[in-house]
A and B are shown apart, each in its own frame.
Chain A
Amino acid sequence: MSLGSVPLKYKVTIDREQCMHCMRCINNCSYGVFHREDDRIIIDSRKCTACHHCISMCPRDAISLQERPVDYRSHPLWTAEAREDIINQARTGKIILAGMGNAKPYPVIFDRLVLDACQVTNPSIDPLREPMELRTYIGKKPPRLEIDKKDNGDIEMLTKLTPNLKLETPIMIGHMSYGAISLNAQLSLAKAVEKTGTFMGTGEGGLHEAIYPYQKNMIVQVASGRFGVDINYLERGAAIEIKIGQGAKPGIGGHLPGEKVCQDVSCTRMIPLGSDAISPAPHHDIYSIEDLAQLVRSLKEATEWKKPVFVKIAAVHNAAAIAAGIARSSADAVVIDGFRGGSGATPKVFRDNVGIPIEAAVASVDQKLKDQGIRNKISVIASGGIRNSADIAKSIALGADAVYIGTGALIAMGCRVCGQCYRGMCPWGIATQRQELVDRLDPEIESEHVANLIRSWTLELSELMGAAGINSIESLRSNRSRLRGYMLDEGTLDVLQVKPVGA
């Protein structure tokens, strides 16, 4: 017997009184939800992904969308999702592919941490009229400064600093490759980081010529597929990042489906046209920590030790010890990507079940590095599920030097987190290579939106710091006495080294 169809995920309706038959919804929906029969707009709700493009473009606010219009018999264990996944796999025998970050309702630790503010015993600082320093340097710091003070009072520095990236705000944009996202999307991000004095990652998609003008703000990624990596690429980047893992899919590689590998993507990634672009799970020249050190040093050697090298790992159980190994490798920064990190395409079972939250990972990494006396050897970048300036402040107070944002920047360009990135039909022109969709995204406009987001969060961060009586970001970093845990269990508080509220 047939399994039949499962209920609609979304139901789209048009308020026919409001509708003026402008047909914008038909043109806007790349999934084909709307079509025209005579004068009537017909709706096929089953195709809807809740991307909201039609809703956002409807001049009359005539379109409504309802999630899960059909109830299942309620059951706490056998949720609608559990049942539908089984039906899907019973039909196909395949791995379920999903988009965006972890969608399981785990508690969000950020939401159970509260920040401190000054009252009486020290004054708040007003960032409008008093200096407020968010400038952040990413890279190795010497363990101590050796100087020679001459008899005439002149000081000569004997310590030589290694190259650091200078950020005007501790917010960077993480790695989203050309291929996973469109060139216009990447261009918008590039313009935004240039405007705001920060950096972004290329992802493992090479560096398209159109991005060359922004190369001084780009962190070029070297991942297991080595896509787009040649000596010119390495030399163009402001820094180089070795991607070991990704929070959305720790322990596995990635596949860019062949249909997304168009001429331009093929040339930029330096891979054959129309073939799957396969990033294997491990780097095949890294099977152990000393091999990582070798890759770090090979990149440094190739670029004559002029570029900081980052290493990105997924936040897994043993992240702290792994980071300590990375700190000993000549790497300049370690990026910890928490289990809520985004992804264009990831097996659902990984997205929802593998890895640990960024809050715990950053806290334990910072502590482990301090315990071993090597915190100065490496900067720590927190990534994966950072939604607002408070998350940033909390990440830094837990020990991060800076953060990567990803999904947040995409939302600033229109993304509504529908999670269908892997289908390549993104109506917002972000996660697609279809020219007619890509053209919808104007880099001039969207770069301003992304820049605005970074500016807003930077402003809020200044205010939060000022309220806490802190005028320099260094003094927020790892300052866990300015955090309290609210309804967090003792074990978690212990890992975070944060006291409970009231203590």
Chain B
Amino acid sequence: MKKVEIDAKGMHYTPLNKMIREAVKNGAKEIILDNVIGQRFIADGLKGDVTIRINGVAGGDLGMFMNGPTCIVNGNCDHAPGNTMDGGTIVIHGSAGDAVAHSMRGGKLFVEKNIGYRGGIHMKQYEEDRRPALVVGGASHAFLGEYMAGGLIIVLGIGQENPVMDRGIGSGIHGGMIVIRGEVKDELLGVGARKMEFGEKELEMITPYVEEFCKHFDTEPSGLLDTNYTCIVPASTRPFAGKYTWE
């Protein structure tokens, strides 16, 4: 297995991405980026089977349009990691900013701690076997899963009393599912979202994601595998169907 190490210190993202692409082209299976400090667009549009370990703070749009690779960030992420991502995995050992997994269409994104506003906004699924998933270990801010058109968001709330305390959960949701640890107040739900009972079937569905989360962050899943979750789904697949009259 070919391993490539790149010192990203002081480097602009364009030459950095060029080096990453070059390494992937030359068959690298593991790329280590040291001293990353805010470089945006790491692995943007990248295809292939490679694991990129990012040591430092990754800038915005990590793994945007990415299809295939795995990015492991040892540090926090700026906004929108996994933006319009198609496939592959992002694992963040830390927290991430706003619009995490924006329009993500495939692959998995694990955040150890917290995410900002509009997490999982407009995630969507169009093929049965390609379900995008966002798993957050800690808490999320407002507008979680807004306009969601498929996929799965899980907020585990580890160490949190109320993992989602802000409004607008699932506004305009018309596909997919949001699962939040514990109770969620009704008034926090956005227009077009409704609660659904979280039972054994749902638990079975989320179990592999929770287990994978725990594997990435080296924790024990057993305390998380019960039915103490709130499940939020679309009230309709046509949230705006009744909004208009014809001229």
Physical interaction between A and B: yes
List chain A positions with a Cβ less than 8 A from chain B: 88-89, 91-92, 94-99, 225-226, 229-231, 234, 255, 257-258, 266-267, 269-276, 278, 280, 284-285, 294, 297-298, 301-305, 347-348, 419, 422-423
The 10 closest A-B pairs by CB, nearest first: A302-B45, A226-B103, A97-B244, A94-B245, A92-B245, A98-B247, A275-B237, A301-B41, A231-B45, A301-B44
B214-247 vs A, CB cutoff 8 Å, 1 = contact: the mask equals 0000000000000000000000011111111111
Check if B122 sits within 8 Å of A347, measured CB to CB.
no
Cross-interface CB contact of A278 among B66, B102, B240, B246, cutoff 8 Å: B240
Check if A276 sits within 8 Å of B238, measured CB to CB.
yes
Check if A294 sits within 8 Å of B61, measured CB to CB.
yes
Cross-interface CB contact of B40 among A257, A272, A297, cutoff 8 Å: A297
B99 at the interface (CB under 8 A from A): yes
Main secondary structure of the interface of A (DSSP, over half): mixed
From residue A202, how far is it (CB to closest CB) to chain B in Å?
16
What residue in chain A is nearest B16 (Cβ atoms)? A301
Task: Determine the chain B residues whose CB is within 8 A of the CB of A92 once the complex forms.
Answer: 245
In the complex, A123 Cα to B241 Cα: how many Å?
61
From residue B128, how far is it (CB to closest CB) to chain A in Å?
10
Check if A226 sits within 8 Å of B238, measured CB to CB.
no
Cross-interface CB contact of A230 among B18, B105, B246, cutoff 8 Å: B105
What residue in chain B is nearest A277 (Cβ atoms)? B149
Interface residues on B, range: 35 or more
Selecting from B79-87, B158-166, B201-209, the interface stretch reads B79-87
In the complex, A374 Cα to B154 Cα: how many Å?
47
B170 at the interface (CB under 8 A from A): no
List chain B positions with a Cβ less than 8 A from chain A: 13-14, 17-18, 21, 40-41, 44-45, 47, 60-61, 64-67, 79-80, 83-84, 86, 99, 102-103, 105, 118, 121-122, 124-126, 146-147, 149-150, 172, 174-175, 237-247
Task: Determine the chain A residues whose CB is within 8 A of the CB of B18 once the complex forms.
Answer: 304
Check if B65 sits within 8 Å of A278, measured CB to CB.
no
Check if B47 sits within 8 Å of A272, measured CB to CB.
no
Given contacts A285-B80, A294-B60, contact A305 B125 (CB under 8 A): no
Check if B44 sits within 8 Å of A273, measured CB to CB.
no
Task: Determine the chain A residues whose CB is within 8 A of the CB of B84 once the complex forms.
Answer: 226, 229-230
Task: Determine the chain B residues whose CB is within 8 A of the CB of A294 once the complex forms.
Answer: 40, 60-61
Pairs across A and B, CB under 8 Å, 29 listed: A88-B247, A89-B245, A94-B245, A95-B243, A95-B244, A95-B245, A96-B244, A96-B247, A97-B246, A98-B247, A225-B122, A226-B102, A226-B103, A226-B122, A229-B103, A257-B241, A258-B238, A267-B126, A270-B105, A270-B126, A275-B149, A276-B237, A284-B118, A284-B122, A285-B83, A301-B44, A302-B44, A302-B64, A347-B244
In the complex, A98 Cα to B86 Cα: how many Å?
35
Cross-interface CB contact of A298 among B64, B147, B174, B175, cutoff 8 Å: B64
Cross-interface CB contact of B67 among A230, A257, A305, A423, cutoff 8 Å: A230
From residue A67, how far is it (CB to closest CB) to chain B in Å?
14
What residue in chain B is nearest A103 (Cβ atoms)? B247
From residue B45, how far is it (CB to closest CB) to chain A in Å?
3
Task: Determine the chain A residues whose CB is within 8 A of the CB of B118 once the complex forms.
Answer: 284
**Interface core residue of A89, A257, A294, A298 (most chain B CB under 10 Å):** A298
Check if A274 sits within 8 Å of B237, measured CB to CB.
yes
In the complex, A304 Cα to B46 Cα: how many Å?
11
Check if A273 sits within 8 Å of B244, measured CB to CB.
no
What residue in chain B is nearest A286 (Cβ atoms)? B99
Given contacts A258-B237, A348-B247, A419-B247, contact A301 B45 (CB under 8 A): yes
Check if A301 sits within 8 Å of B237, measured CB to CB.
no
Task: Determine the chain B residues whose CB is within 8 A of the CB of A284 once the complex forms.
Answer: 99, 102-103, 118, 121-122, 146-147
In the complex, A98 Cα to B246 Cα: how many Å?
7
In the complex, A301 Cα to B246 Cα: how many Å?
43
In the complex, A412 Cα to B147 Cα: how many Å?
37
Given contacts A275-B175, A285-B83, A298-B41, contact A257 B238 (CB under 8 A): yes
From residue A259, how far is it (CB to closest CB) to chain B in Å?
9
